[in-house]
Chain A
């Protein structure tokens, strides 16, 4: 384990990666391994009492099964009580305002709110005005911080194993993000997380799905899959939403697949130890060929289990960090 600096978690919320420092990201990544062990207990109880008596509310204003299950399990493994709330994300359906809904939840003495919403900025808007600890589980196209953290954690595991160095970092690691970047909060959060950790990121997708001036986020951009993956240590395929075809964003899935699918053919130009990742759910044979998704290079399932550990770490840090600096004794231990 990398010798921890004396970074202390001081934020009330986790709304995005963009504002986090490298130290803060590393603190989360260094806190997560303890929780990997908890979930891996074979004969023991897969629980620790760190969030005992706390209420974690999964507020999904946009549907999701996997992320919600992951957060729910993470909360339960910390011994928290959990609650799931779904509200409508339609602007046409004028219901209770977001602020009022949260105030009502807080009246039931909740501690952590996990919010997924179709509008960028919704978690931030709430975090600024409410005392709850807010974790952004995806706000529109903007950010999905815990996804990027679990992705970085997974990449670190792989790099350390490959090099036989438990203190290896992601500095210099080349990561290719492939697919619909424009609509992807997973892409944006990963860009911030990876660049802050020193990795080199290249975005690759059809012109129509690459957002303007993306290079200014500190990444390379290309529409050529070969160029993107020929030297990539990590190949990260993003989900393509089949509806995009209707808005004239690409002509057909057939052509998308020919140009951008990660399959044994396209992988011929890539290093043969490059990692294959995907945030899920996979459109088999569209973003990833079935045989690639199931190959040993694919760590998609690892991402899922790491997701629980990383989310446990985040919830623990948010709730249990004291609002004071460390004492000399604590630093000396």
Chain B
């Protein structure tokens, strides 16, 4: 049975199309793109935008080990509800994915329970301890799409250099969580006026920037491709901008909360404003927007980090870091970046489809005849209020409860199957 998506405005940044087009899906591939097409099941996309299924290269699905927060099943449903058809899962599970056996476990669980495509990353060092490399070649053969010790940085520059060389040999990108953990051990928010006022230990921006600088230099030395995760500061973006200008193989990502909120959101000690790296200041928000507009920031990634309510419902200093983001990412992109004219809708979709896919060379994030039928249909004008109890994620830790946003996913199709329909 073929599916026809009719009358929608097709935006496919990979091919540069932004025009009214129908799409005919047959099986798990796109059969035809054109106008006046015919199909068996018709999805009327009048007034909607039709784009490639969104791609998120940074999510935490907590399986194995912390299934009470999220599972591959619930995480994939949250992704589908947010318009995503491909996600790259981080390996800091319990146990961490540092060998082929665990990689196979994740892939099996994905086959059994995920409604969208799961692309797992593997640890770069054993147990994420930053000392011994994992068997990256075997992990890649088992299905790893990248290596990362996300959650922490690799403290030893010696180890980091060798990891980058080896990953490059295996044609794997190292996804870098940049944090110099020796500068501050007990920080829980950005160091600045807010942390002074609230009496909370702060994490200076330098902690992130020093690590970005170091990691980029090692990438330059080794010629490896390093992908800087969750950039949050103006100076950090500057470092990356200059490195790119010098031809160093660096890409980077940022998350919607970093352009929507500042550390002022911590006022009142809401633990849903606690994440690592932390919310920064207005000057950084401006730099992130500029970085997205001028292409310094390659893609948007949510760092979707679910935590159970009880875990977050504690004293601010004791709460775990992280917030969810899959189900609000598109709306925050449209409300805070597209509507105010900082980037165009086409650029926004690029940042969430072919750009993240290209960082890791994933064969998704585009719509082409003969290509995968991963399609998202959304209404860029629809206004809605964020209500966490409606989320498909198992967790509710978002700072956006009650926020009015624009941009609502209507239908998500993955490999030709409707995986979400509002």
Which A residues form the contact surface with B (CB < 8 A)?
18, 91, 97-99, 117-122, 124-125, 139-143, 185, 188, 211-214, 216-217
Between-chain CB contacts (< 8 Å), 20 pairs: A91-B317, A98-B315, A99-B313, A120-B198, A120-B269, A121-B200, A121-B315, A122-B315, A125-B315, A125-B316, A142-B198, A142-B199, A143-B199, A185-B199, A212-B192, A212-B193, A212-B202, A213-B192, A214-B196, A216-B193
The answer to whether the Cβ of B246 comes within 8 Å of any Cβ in the partner chain is no
Measured between alpha carbons, how far is A140 from B316 in the docked complex, in Å? Answer: 11
User: Across the two chains, which residue of chain A brings its CB closest to B191?
Assistant: A212
Residues of chain B contacted by A217 (CB below 8 angstroms) = 196-197
Measured between alpha carbons, how far is A140 from B189 in the docked complex, in Å? Answer: 15
Which B residues form the contact surface with A (CB < 8 A)?
191-193, 195-200, 202, 268-269, 310, 313-318
Measured between alpha carbons, how far is A121 from B315 in the docked complex, in Å? Answer: 7
Q: Is B317 a contact partner of A140 (Cβ separation < 8 A)? A: yes
User: Across the two chains, which residue of chain B brings its CB closest to A188?
Assistant: B199
Closest chain-A Cβ to B288's Cβ sits at a distance in Å of 21
Residues of chain B contacted by A118 (CB below 8 angstroms) = 317
Residues of chain B contacted by A122 (CB below 8 angstroms) = 315
Q: Is B202 a contact partner of A121 (Cβ separation < 8 A)? A: no
Q: Is B196 a contact partner of A213 (Cβ separation < 8 A)? A: yes
Lowest 3 CB-CB distances: which A-B pairs, in order?
Answer: A121-B269, A141-B199, A142-B199
Q: Is A97 a contact partner of B195 (Cβ separation < 8 A)? A: no
Q: Is B202 a contact partner of A120 (Cβ separation < 8 A)? A: no
Residues of chain B contacted by A140 (CB below 8 angstroms) = 199-200, 317
User: Across the two chains, which residue of chain B brings its CB closest to A90?
Assistant: B318
Instruction: Known contacts A211-B196, A212-B196; decide if A97 and B269 are in contact (CB<8 Å).
Output: no
Q: Is A213 a contact partner of B193 (Cβ separation < 8 A)? A: yes
User: Across the two chains, which residue of chain A brings its CB closest to B268?
Assistant: A124
User: Across the two chains, which residue of chain B brings its CB closest to A187?
Assistant: B199
Residues of chain A contacted by B269 (CB below 8 angstroms) = 120-121, 124-125
Q: Is A98 a contact partner of B199 (Cβ separation < 8 A)? A: no
User: Across the two chains, which residue of chain B brings its CB closest to A183?
Assistant: B199
Measured between alpha carbons, how far is A213 from B268 in the docked complex, in Å? Answer: 20
Q: Is A121 a contact partner of B310 (Cβ separation < 8 A)? A: no
Measured between alpha carbons, how far is A91 from B315 in the docked complex, in Å? Answer: 10
Residues of chain A contacted by B191 (CB below 8 angstroms) = 212
Residues of chain A contacted by B202 (CB below 8 angstroms) = 212
Instruction: Known contacts A121-B269, A124-B269; decide if A98 and B195 are in contact (CB<8 Å).
Output: no
Residues of chain A contacted by B316 (CB below 8 angstroms) = 119-121, 125
Closest chain-B Cβ to A84's Cβ sits at a distance in Å of 21
Closest chain-B Cβ to A142's Cβ sits at a distance in Å of 4
Measured between alpha carbons, how far is A118 from B199 in the docked complex, in Å? Answer: 11
Measured between alpha carbons, how far is A214 from B268 in the docked complex, in Å? Answer: 19
Q: Is B196 a contact partner of A98 (Cβ separation < 8 A)? A: no
- Select which of B193, B268, B318 is within 8 A of A119 by beta carbon: B318
Instruction: Known contacts A91-B318, A213-B193; decide if A120 and B199 are in contact (CB<8 Å).
Output: yes
Residues of chain B contacted by A211 (CB below 8 angstroms) = 195-196
Measured between alpha carbons, how far is A142 from B317 in the docked complex, in Å? Answer: 12
Residues of chain A contacted by B318 (CB below 8 angstroms) = 91, 119
Measured between alpha carbons, how far is A59 from B342 in the docked complex, in Å? Answer: 51
Other A-B contacts than A125-B269, A188-B197, A212-B202, 6 sampled, CB-CB below 8 A, are A99-B313, A121-B269, A121-B316, A143-B199, A211-B196, A212-B191
Instruction: Known contacts A213-B192, A213-B193; decide if A120 and B314 are in contact (CB<8 Å).
Output: no
Residues of chain B contacted by A185 (CB below 8 angstroms) = 199
Residues of chain B contacted by A124 (CB below 8 angstroms) = 268-269
Residues of chain B contacted by A99 (CB below 8 angstroms) = 313
Give the residue among B193, B196, B317 with the most A Cβ atoms within 10 A: B196
